[in-house]
Amino acid sequence: MAGILESLEAGLTITEHSDWLIFVARLNEAVSVGRIRKVSVLKMVWSRDEQWFLDPETAEVYVYAAPNPPSMPIWEKVDVLAHLQAADPAPLSAFKLGNISPMTAHIMKMKLEGLVGRGLVEELPLPPHVTPLGHDTERWYRDVESKIIYRLREHYGLKDPDDLRWEIVPPAELSNKIQ
């Protein structure tokens, strides 16, 4: 038997704007009449703006995250116990530190965009003391969970070899630079 939370999406494709509006109206109505309850987020699954809802009859919990272009809305069942037991590694710690290939850098940038879009990672402005030269680029990212700051440095040399690196920003470079 389907619970109330599962039935809210019945007949809808919430990635379509008109269906998403109907879904949000159903969700708000179910909360306002007390059929479901909004509960505290124990551990984020998708984004900082997510909300969790409990079906008191079935004890199911669903996570909802509103669309935040380019991210689509999210509505899915949450296994609360699994999320409490599994210690997820900080998202940026999954990338190998050190020299990387141009293909790896390209793939990393796509993944970083997704992590930023989901609110798991923040892209930081470069501090004033960092001034990449010529065609060099440098991007700084803060892992929201671990608070560790990483940088992606790219140098594509015409006369010298390419140098692409993913590294943790040393604490000495952070002193009084980023709050």
Which pLDDT does position 86 carry in this prediction?
A: 47
Average pLDDT over residues 4-8: 88
- CA-to-CA separations, 116 to 54, 109, 120, 122, in angstroms, rounded: 28, 10, 6, 6
Give buried/exposed letters for 30-58 (b at 16+ CB in 10 A, else e).
beeeeebeeeebeebbbbeebebbbbeee
Q: What angle do CA 12, 14, 15 make, to 5 degrees?
A: 130
- Of residues 14 and 177, the one with the higher pLDDT is 14
Which pLDDT does position 178 carry in this prediction?
A: 46
Task: Report the 10 Å Cβ neighbour count for 155.
Answer: 17
Domain ranges of the chain: 4-85, 91-174
84-140 per-position pLDDT tens digit: 554 556 788 888 888 988 888 888 898 999 899 988 999 999 887 777 776 788 899
Which pLDDT does position 141 carry in this prediction?
A: 95
38-52 per-position pLDDT tens digit: 988 877 777 678 899
- Of residues 149 and 156, the one with the higher pLDDT is 149
pTM: 0.49
Which pLDDT does position 82 carry in this prediction?
A: 66
Mean predicted lDDT score pLDDT of the chain: 83
The encoded tokens of residue 150 equal 């990483």
Confidence of residue 27 (pLDDT cuts 50, 70, 90): very high
